[in-house]
Structure 1
Amino acid sequence: MATTLLLICIAATASSREGRFPDPAEPLDAAGARAAAQAVLSDRFRTSAYRSPSRAAAETASAMALSASEEALLSDLSYGDWTGRSFAEIAGAQPGALDLWLSDPTQGTPGGESMDQALKRIGAWMDRIAALDAPVCAITHPMIVRAALAHALDLPLRSTLAIDVAPLSHTVLSFNRSWRLQSLGLASGHAPG
């Protein structure tokens, strides 16, 4: 038997709808909370469940009636000085800075964490759970899902920025001697396998 890892992206927040860098203390918005409450999760993923320490991840798990252990390695990137700020505000105040960050994710935001750092921590967590030989569920953030894909598939970090990770989307990876991508998709009315 292999380890199966279901990564669920947090439900929608105001920052995800408005084009702002998220804040770990930010709650789900009303529509995000409703969508999370309607999400269906297979019972096999309820036994070993983890979540980011962020408020949005805790509220996503709660709305899904999922008892998930807090795991610091699932935290979103630290966006440092850009936390809570809109993309438009940053582009206006620091011309070219946002484009530079997007073109080279190995560089962190001012005072923040780089994608390389996120890749190392999520990779270490994935390597640890690979030995569980069981289904695992993790509620985390779009950038961490991208870093997990980079780790699992040995993708360049910059290429992962071209992957849209929607609120409540599911990414399913499996480990049997090596990580493999099983599926990417939006949450629907049915439970993932």
Structure 2
Amino acid sequence: MTSRVVFVSPASSPSLRRARFDDGDSLDDTGKARAESAAGQLRSADRAFVSPSARGRETAVALGLDAVDEPWLAGLDMGRWRGRTLDEVGAAEPGALAAWLADPGAAPHGGESVRELCRRVARWLDTCGRADGRTIAVVEPEVVRGVVVHVLGVPEGAFWRVDVPPLTATEVSGRSGRWNLRLGQALGPSAGESGR
């Protein structure tokens, strides 16, 4: 049995453009237009899921997906840092920010640690890997990072070394315990078909 899961990062939003921890904002006009132009580029799937975020849902709709909210695929809970920019947090809490970036188990913001997110995403992926067929999931970039960490079996500190541009597809195929990875195929104008 082979399972394929295509993880699509949401299109751009004001939070993303300002390096602000997600505060539930919607796609910006450019992001919405790019997502709409990418509709039809993903092959059909047996299942579709979406991170429970405004930009995730709006991207899924723009792509023409009938996706179901999946709490296990939620973005990183940033606690009291939600809605603040990285520069603001760095100025107000430089030690806490440094600890968070250096230690995957740290959660000085009172939310979720990178380690907790990676483990949550790994559990979801391994459960999904028991299902035959194709799955599409529109997820926040940090979820894609967690998938890459899990699939490659690299230390959680590598989380910060993975860049996930807006509106890209990252595919894993195989089954629980043995995944193959195909990284960051762009969706949108002139991108061609993604997620084969």
The TM-score with structure 1 as length reference comes to: 0.92
Displacement, 1:135?
Answer: 0.9
Q: How does 1:102-117 map to 2 (within 5 A)?
A: 102-117=101-116
Aligned identity (percent) is 32
Is the partner of 1:135 in helix, strand or coil?
A: strand
Q: What is the root-mean-square deviation of aligned Cα atoms in Å? A: 1.5
One-letter amino acid matched to 1:121: R
- Are 1:44 and 2:44 counterparts? yes
The CA distance in 2 between the partners of 1:144 and 1:42, in whole Å, is 19
One-letter amino acid matched to 1:190: G
Residues 5 and 172 in structure 2, CA contact (< 8 A), matched pair in contact too: yes
Displacement, 1:4?
Answer: 0.8
Displacement, 1:109?
Answer: 4.1
The CA distance in 2 between the partners of 1:178 and 1:93, in whole Å, is 43
The CA distance in 2 between the partners of 1:5 and 1:34, in whole Å, is 25
How many pairs are equivalent?
A: 191
- Structure 2 residue runs of 5 or longer lacking an equivalent are none
- Structure 1 residue runs of 5 or longer lacking an equivalent are none
Residues 79 and 109 in structure 1, CA contact (< 8 A), matched pair in contact too: no
Residues 72 and 121 in structure 2, CA contact (< 8 A), matched pair in contact too: yes
The CA distance in 1 between the partners of 2:183 and 2:79, in whole Å, is 32
The CA distance in 2 between the partners of 1:10 and 1:109, in whole Å, is 26
- Are 1:190 and 2:189 counterparts? no
Q: Which residue of 2 aligns with 1:67?
A: 66
Is the partner of 2:44 in helix, strand or coil?
A: helix
One-letter amino acid matched to 2:171: V
The TM-score with structure 2 as length reference comes to: 0.91
Runs of 4+ with deviation above 4 angstroms: none
